[in-house]
A and B are shown apart, each in its own frame.
Chain A
Amino acid sequence: MTKKEKKSFNQSLAEWKLFIYNPTTGEFLGRTAKSWGLTVFPKPLTALEYSFTVSDPRSYQGYIEDLRKFLKPYDLEEQKNLTACPDGALFEQKGPVYGACQFPVALLQACSGVDDPEFGYSIGNPCVLVKMNRIIGLKPQGEPRIECISKSENTAALSTYPPNGLIDLKYFPYYGKKLHVSYLQPLVAVQVSFNATSSTVNEVTVECKIDGSPNLKNQDDRDKFLGRVVFKVTARA
């Protein structure tokens, strides 16, 4: 708010012009400038904090179940009828039937739950899925990817799957629940590997942002989830 108030007149004017017609999004007179919101899975009970004890499976049981449930539609079985779309290009369709692209769960590699049904929690390297909110008609430009960094100093290594956190353009645009049946939103998994496994409590704050796409904002004063998400992982031995 304070930043807003300090906005110069020119900025306001520019913003106003943008409101009347936003050439990037093609929006006219303020349909909410919708951008991706980033959310994470599993859904933590308290605000974006994952906390578990490696030696106590019950402490992360909930997370694992949540992830399994969430990844159910991503089963290979479930994806049989989906289209295998060409990589690297928007998958624009004219209808009346809209196909959904496959998202092979294998892309998530270590976090796919295939090799490790505990999603790394049992070994103290928990996986967190970052997903993008679905927005009808949004066509990302460039090469969108999710970049995660550890906000605390080097206590943990972050691996993202698919590599580089890449999000393929073929999953866009989205045509809505009714038309775009069994659409799978692209996912990026972040695996936190703590360096000093010896210490009893490991803690890291991770910030993930959308990057590489000029029309996807990742910074908004008011919306903390617009193109970014921040979460904290606490693992006890």
Chain B
Amino acid sequence: MKGDPFPVENPSWTNIVPLLSFQKTLEIYSVELSGTKNIEQTDKGNGKEKYRGLKNCFEPKKNHRKEELRKELDLDDHKLSIKELEKKYGTNIITGLSSTQAAELLAQNGPNALTPPKETPEIIKFLKQMVGGFSILLWIGAILCWIAFGIQYSMNTTSSLDNVYLGCVLALVVILTGIFAYYQEAKSTNVMATFNKMIPQQALVIRDSEKKTIPADQLVVGDIVEIKGGDRIPADIRLLSVQGCKVDNSSLTGESEPQPRSSEFTHDSPLETKNIGFYSTTCLEGTATGMVINTGDRTVIGQIASLASGVGNEKTPIAIEIQHFVHIVAGVAVSIGILFFIIAVSLKYQVLDSIIFLIGIIVANVPEGLLATVTVTLSLTAKRLAKKNCLVKNLEAVETLGSTSIICSDKTGTLTQNRMTVAHLWFDNQIFIADTSEDHSNQVFDQSSGTWASLSKIITLCNRAEFRPGQESVPIMKRVVVGDASETALLKFSEVILGDVMEIRKRNHKVAEIPFNSTNKFQLSVHKTDDPNDKRFLMVMKGAPERILEKCSTIMVNGQEQPLDKNTAEAFHTAYMELGGLGERVLGFCHLYLPADEFPETYTFDVDTMNFPTSNLCFVGLLSMIDPPRSTVPDAVTKCRSAGIKVIMVTGDHPITAKAIAKSVGIISANSETVEDIAKRLHIAVEQVNKRDAKAAVVTGMELKDMSPEQLDELLTNYPEIVFARTSPQQKLIIVEGCQRQNAVVAVTGDGVNDSPALKKADIGIAMGIAGSDAAKNAADMILLDDNFASIVTGVEEGRLIFDNLKKTIAYTLTKNIAELCPFLIYIIVGLPLPIGTITILFIDLGTDIIPSIALAYEKAESDIMNRKPRHKKKDRLVNQQLAMYSYLHIGLMQAVGAFVVYFTVYAQEGFKPSVLINIRVEWENSNVNDLEDSYGQQWTLYQRKYLEWMGYTAFFVGIMVQQIADLIIRKTRRNSIFQQGLFRNKVIWVGIASQIIIALILSYGLGSVTALSFTMLRPQYWFVAVPFAILIWVYDEVRKLFIRLYPGSWWDKNMYY
């Protein structure tokens, strides 16, 4: 990083790299760019870093568990000799344990399986749903109903069953919504399996001198097990004998390259030594015998798993918002309820009646259907997201994504295509750009030069990678290749340009080959050429550019060999520097036609004695490769930026590569510089640079390790563009915690087992669907099915939309609460016949209002929601004061007035003018009065009055319903005019409106004769009484929106916009 990509080993080059004085960095880079096998080399480097990181992560933590883990990791079995091991574990490597010993140990230590994370029992989960949210309030209501009936019954055995009905209905509401929520939750949590999935089914073990296949969970410490390619390692094992065994430790360490194993003790750290195989990792090839040294939760993976479950799962922002909302509403309900209970009692109402009022007030205040609606809304979005490759495990995570303010993204696979691709070529003193897009289709560089002909031949022939047979119909870029990443890249590159590579290789028969090794740092092969007139052998070689150049005395320019002079060497250096500076892996290519006289057709090449020349070759060109960014990522990053989301790259990769990719995808924008860049530009020391001038920072894991939390905070606040390179997955946890200290909502991507603590800690953990380990998927809240960063941005957009739409839904739902509440208050104080019954209210909350409030989830965004800042999780509440005030006091009161007008109209039309209704309650409800006189002198029996009261309920209900239609329409937008939004764009709204009307018609005309429901048939004209009020609501809201648009920032805007 210290400004220079020059990872050269050749010390003679340091003179052209003045800033390459940073010894630590040099060490790290020294393995990079050094040969065809450099990928493996690099990744070994990476791996070591990760191990260090693993320990670093555990060291500074005060967390007791982590301390323990560190201690546990100080196992020294890898240092012991086989004899010592046999003694320690009381076993014998030839005969194995005896069955009795094994049984004893199994009883003592338990099965070799990970303890699954503590699952809440299903019944507890279910009960939680039954008492969560508003349920408690409704239970109280139901119980009060039954108590009230009990008292009534004890006084008069013929008392009406109304209260029993009501209690049952309330209980039913709670139970049904509880079952619904439980079902929704169960559906989403079952998406992924647990850690258990990683446990291998069977293990081959030596016991009682016999080879036996036993279930892997029966393994005990001291067992001798045999593994072969394809097996999952059944426990932590110390390897005793190894035949070409390579393991995939990626789920543990994040290293994607196969790691060779041996029985030798190679490193002090148990994580780095080659003679230990880890539980749940995969043996890719070869065979090995090992002794089990740790089982179950005591394995390294087991400890990480318990670390992950030790990291508390943060409550999702939407859960906090909903809780906040429930508290507000419940608070309002209970306080109004109690207030009016007291008022009722002091107005000399019977306590029993006052309790009934209390229930009515609670029921009117609680939006019974809302929580179910929210769940449905979230799951609708989750479904929509699943179509866009985001699988949401936890429904609430949908919204979390929308409030995300920092995304910590992996590089490999998420931002990049996760495959090496040829990016640049250098020959004839020119750099050519190759097409790195996903399909490689557009290779436009000049292919007419003779040099290219030679270079392409070397690329084709000096390559051991092959396509798996039988893939002729598969596009080249998608074919499966046997070979390492660089060779695969070269194979595909040449296949795209030259056509059938395998055929070319066949025509140029290979007679000898030296594969790459880290001492030579080159790879060569000797071929018979396909030119029948040319009997010379062609030797082709590729490798670390500086090594290749050393072996050359000539260079090919425009197809002609020229002596390699100082100028051409300079040109080579310049090109090499430039390509290296792009973070690309550079390879050099050279060839030599062996003279036919010295090497006749019958000549036998011996690769051990090297009986052929390997110097004075002809240098042909350079080629550089990179894992290129996905084509959709730069756009996505730009979107994030305009959406106020900081994108931080966290990668185990090399800082230069990381920085190059960060630049190419826009995580570091084109004109921002790091401190090092500024130092280089101004030719001053890094320390002299004013840190404020730098917008970007590239921080390595090594530097991160030495930072205090305060320094990390400073780094995170001061730099808008940050790349963490060479970090271990464990350091991700530190970074996430740092971001969370800034009050940010943090999204983290990850794929390895080691990522799971960070994924859990993050506000939203995003696991990769393709590359992700089960552990990561298990810890994550969301899974990206296509591993593509751009999908996260889609998710953010949906999350923000759902937050807006939930606001609308809640505003819509809350509005009618006032219209439902006022009847009770006025009934108590003014003594009117009860305008609306409790059961009728439930039919609004759980009947007519349900589909419309879900329909609001389909509303399109009002403006570009990706152009505003993420919401502040403490300031931008889901339900804020403005929303509550506007819904309750503006639209809500209007609705109440409208509904009362309908009520009074019906009563007046039937005979009771408003004036006589005042304080009529006692007589009205007196069963001995059967000739109550109305305003026209007519006389009413009790039942006739009761029937009129039900008609009043129905009328009030219809009044609210009609106005809720207007309410639904105005809630489509919060700022724009409805006409800007389009009245008909969201068709579901109209389904909602239709549902309201149809349900109301059915209730009135269909179920009008069912006494318990207390609906009656209504004269048609009564349906239209509330229409003017509906229109008034619409006009009022349009005016509100107009002023908000006209005077942004004004008092009006601040108080009327919710």
Contacts and interface: CB of A to CB of B under 8 A. Distances in A.
Range of interface residues on chain A? 20 to 34
Interface in A55-73: none
Given A32-B951, A47-B927, A223-B944, A1 B937 contact: no
A29 B1019 contact: yes
Interface of A is mostly: loop
A6 interface: no
A47 B930 CA distance: 11
A32 B944 contact: yes
A72 to B, nearest CB: 17
Contacts of A180: 937
A15 B1009 contact: yes
A135 to B, nearest CB: 5
B196 interface: no
B546 to A, nearest CB: 96
Interface stretch (A171-179, A190-198, A210-218): A171-179
A224 interface: yes
A223 B933 CA distance: 17
Contacts of A86: none
A152 B859 CA distance: 71
Interface stretch (B29-37, B243-251, B637-645, B1010-1018): B1010-1018
A37 B935 contact: no
Contacts of B938: 34, 133-136, 174, 176
A30 B943 contact: no
Contacts of B1009: 4, 12, 15
A31 interface: yes
B910 A31 contact: yes
B943 A135 contact: no
B1004 to A, nearest CB: 10
Nearest to B1016: A30
Instruction: Point out which of B933, B937, B1016, B1018 has the most chain A C-beta atoms below 10 A from its C-beta.
Output: B937
Interface in B899-941: 910, 927-928, 930-931, 933, 935-941
A224 to B, nearest CB: 7
Interface in A125-170: 131, 133-136
A19 interface: yes
Contact of A176 (B937, B941, B1019): B937
Nearest to B932: A133
A174 B939 CA distance: 12
B1018 A30 contact: yes
Given A19-B1017, A29-B1017, A30-B1016, A226 B943 contact: yes
B1019 A31 contact: yes
Interface centre among B910, B947, B1018 (most CB of A within 10 A): B947
Given A19-B1017, A30-B1016, A133 B940 contact: yes
A15 B1017 CA distance: 12
Contact of A225 (B937, B942, B1020): B942
Contact of B930 (A134, A135, A225): A225
B968 interface: no
A183 interface: yes
B851 interface: no
A226 B942 CA distance: 10
B52 to A, nearest CB: 78
B1017 A37 contact: no
A68 B621 CA distance: 128
Interface in A4-47: 4, 12, 15-16, 19, 28-32, 34, 37, 39, 43, 47
B658 interface: no
B1008 to A, nearest CB: 8
Interface residues on B, range: 20 to 34
Contacts of A43: 928
A133 to B, nearest CB: 3
Interface in B191-215: none
B556 interface: no
B948 interface: yes
Contacts of A4: 1009, 1011
B844 to A, nearest CB: 22
A222 interface: yes
B1011 A178 contact: no
Contacts of B931: 37, 39, 131, 133
B564 to A, nearest CB: 103
Max chain B CB contacts within 10 Å: which of A28, A30, A31? Answer: A30
A15 to B, nearest CB: 7
B673 to A, nearest CB: 80
Contacts of A34: 938, 944
A136 B936 contact: yes
Contacts of A30: 1016-1019
Contact of B939 (A1, A12, A19, A37): A37
B939 A133 contact: yes
Contacts of A222: 943, 1011
B937 A37 contact: no
B1016 to A, nearest CB: 7
Contacts of A1: 1011-1012
Nearest to A229: B930
A177 B943 contact: no
Contacts of B928: 43, 47-48
B1025 to A, nearest CB: 15
Contacts of A174: 937-938
A133 B1017 contact: no
A220 B947 CA distance: 13
Most buried by B among A15, A47, A135, A226: A135
Given A135-B938, A135-B939, A177-B937, 17 more contacts: A1-B1012, A4-B1011, A28-B1019, A34-B938, A34-B944, A37-B941, A39-B931, A47-B927, A131-B931, A133-B938, A133-B939, A133-B941, A136-B936, A174-B938, A180-B937, A222-B1011, A223-B942
Interface of A: 1, 4, 12, 15-16, 19, 28-32, 34, 37, 39, 43, 47-48, 131, 133-136, 174, 176-178, 180, 183, 220, 222-226
Interface of B: 910, 927-928, 930-931, 933, 935-944, 947-948, 951, 1005, 1009, 1011-1012, 1016-1020
Rank and list the top 6 A-B pairs by shortest CB-CB distance, nearest first: A177-B937, A133-B939, A223-B943, A37-B941, A225-B941, A30-B1017
20 contacts: A30-B1017, A30-B1018, A32-B944, A32-B948, A32-B951, A37-B931, A37-B939, A37-B941, A39-B931, A47-B927, A131-B931, A133-B939, A134-B937, A134-B938, A135-B939, A136-B936, A136-B937, A177-B937, A222-B943, A224-B943
